[in-house]
């Protein structure tokens, strides 16, 4: 899937065990690096946690 700056996404799952994120948390795409399968997100809760889509993190359109 291709992500564009400003696309709204919601968290489905993250492999980061050190975060308080829960399924359904939403944010806006800042940048997508297809080579790294890394999605940079400005989350509505103020976090900038990136999603590592190639390592098991999952998002869906919000």
**Helix, strand, or coil (residue 43):** strand
Q: What is the pLDDT at residue 2? A: 87
Cα separation of 58 and 47, whole Å? 17
The two tokens of residue 1 are 């899937």
pLDDT for res 21: 94
Using one digit for the tens of pLDDT, what is the confidence trace for 15-54? Answer: 999 999 999 999 999 999 999 999 999 999 999 999 999 9
Residue-averaged pLDDT of the chain: 96
Q: Please indicate, yes or no, whether the overall pTM of this predicted structure exceeds 0.75.
A: yes
Q: What residues does each domain of the chain span?
A: 8-61
Q: Helix (H) and strand (E) counts for the chain?
A: 0, 5
Percent of the chain residues topping a pLDDT of 70: 100
Burial of 11 (0-12, 13-18, 19+ CB in 10 A): buried
């Amino acid at each position: 899937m291709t992500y564009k700056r400003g696309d709204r996404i919601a968290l489905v799952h993250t492999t980061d065990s050190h975060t308080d994120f829960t399924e359904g948390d939403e944010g806006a795409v800042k940048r997508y690096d297809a080579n790294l399968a890394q999605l940079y997100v400005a989350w509505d809760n103020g976090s900038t946690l990136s999603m590592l889509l190639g390592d098991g993190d999952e998002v869906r359109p919000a």
